[in-house]
Amino acid sequence: MLTPLTVTLAVAALALAAWCGWAAYRDQPTKDWHFIGMAVVTLLALVQLVVGVVQLAQGRDPADGAVIFVSYLVGVLACVPVVGLVSLTERTKWGSLTVVAGAVVLAVLQVRLYDIWGGGTGA
């Protein structure tokens, strides 16, 4: 797997979490700028999905199997859009906190994804 991309995505997700956490701390809902941030993270996740699938197609095999690998990639991609939609229906600081939760989950999934691919091998 592309380790730099994994790290970038994890850092971006944590930054998004901190940003929305700050909004929640100030008792604010998610704003347009937050949604642009979510879009950036989602775009990175989409790139990761494509890169992952391309590497599978090239015959490289994740340590824990292709099915788990792809389901994690899809889960990563779904994370932020889902919490983004929830924060649209919950225009309070709780909506912002929901985005924090989703972004943290995404960062944790990146760590798992790294393990599933088999550590640094094949990077």
Partner 1 sequence: MPEPTTTKSAAVPGRGGRINTGPGKLLVTLYGIFTVGAASRSLVQLTTRFDEAPLAYVLSAVAAVVYAFITLSLVRGGEGARKAALTCCGLELLGVLAVGTWTLVEPSAFPDATVWSDYGMGYLFIPVALPLTGLWWLRRGHREQTAPTPSSEQSDPTSSEQSEHRSQET
Candidate list 47, 51, 90, 114; residue touching partner 1; CB under 8 A: 90
Please calculate the CA angle 13-51-60 and round it to the nearest 5 degrees: 125
Residue 6 to residue 120: CA distance in whole angstroms: 11
Question: Which listed range, 9-17, 38-46, 100-108, 113-121, lies at the site for partner 1 (CB under 8 A)?
Answer: 100-108
Q: In this complex, which beta carbon is closest to partner 1, that of residue 58 or of residue 89?
A: 89
Residue 26 to residue 110: CA distance in whole angstroms: 28
Candidate list 17, 34, 93, 117; residue touching partner 1; CB under 8 A: 93
Candidate list 70, 86, 118, 122; residue touching partner 1; CB under 8 A: 86
Residue 37 to residue 11: CA distance in whole angstroms: 12
